[in-house]
Structure 1
Amino acid sequence: MYKVKVFVSLKESVIDPQGTATKSALQKLDFSEVEQVRVGKFIELTLNKTDKNIEEAVHEMCKSLLVNEEVEEYAFEVEEVQGK
């Protein structure tokens, strides 16, 4: 079995209103050192071994459903784990 951690974030060129609001809130809470916040999402998948290459399968999942490639980019880590 494999555990895959997918990290999705907005492309640098895309305005991040949630990040802007979070930055403002942190600064109001007296965290003045915060200069920029970008908010993304984290997706964890557990996969059984497949006939496909694991990385290829994850890329297909991201492109088909998990990521909007118009405005988001992604990276992922694959870890082999013992089955239950």
Structure 2
Amino acid sequence: MYLAKIYVTYKPSILDPQGEVIKSALKRMDYADIQQVAQGKYFEVKLNAKDVDTASSEVKSFTEALLINQNTETYRFDLSLVEDEVEA
């Protein structure tokens, strides 16, 4: 079983309004060294796949089809092999 950790953020050319609001609030709170804040989404997906290449291909496919807006967002993901959990 694989665990995919998927990180979604706006593309660099797209304004991140929530990130800008957070950055402004931090500056008002006297965190003067803040230069940029990027707000995004995070997903964890466990999947059964025969190998890491298959898992990677599946994650890329469903992320592009469902989890992101390809016009405004970009993503990256990490895959790790995890033990099957026994449900009680």
- Fold match (TM-score > 0.5): yes
Structure 1 segments, 4+ long, off by >4 Å, are: none
Gapped runs of 5+ residues in structure 1? none
1:36 Cα offset (Å): 1.1
After superposing the two structures, state which structure 1 stretch, 11-20 or 50-59, moved more.
Answer: 50-59
- 2:14 aligned partner: 14
The TM-score, its normalising length taken from structure 2, stands at: 0.89
Give CA deviations for 1:11-31 in whole Å, capped at 9, x if unaligned: 000011101100000011110
AA matched with 1:31:
Y
CA distance in 2 between partners of 1:82 and 1:15 (Å): 40
Gapped runs of 5+ residues in structure 2? none
State the aligned residue count.
Answer: 84
Give CA deviations for 1:12-57 in whole Å, capped at 9, x if unaligned: 0001110110000001111010011111111111112258811110
- 2:2 aligned partner: 2
- 1:61 aligned partner: 62
- 1:30 aligned partner: 30
AA matched with 1:11:
K
CA distance in 2 between partners of 1:78 and 1:48 (Å): 12
Q: Percent identity?
A: 37
Q: Give the CA RMSD over aligned residues.
A: 1.5
CA distance in 1 between partners of 2:21 and 2:61 (Å): 32
SS of residue in 2 equivalent to 1:23: helix
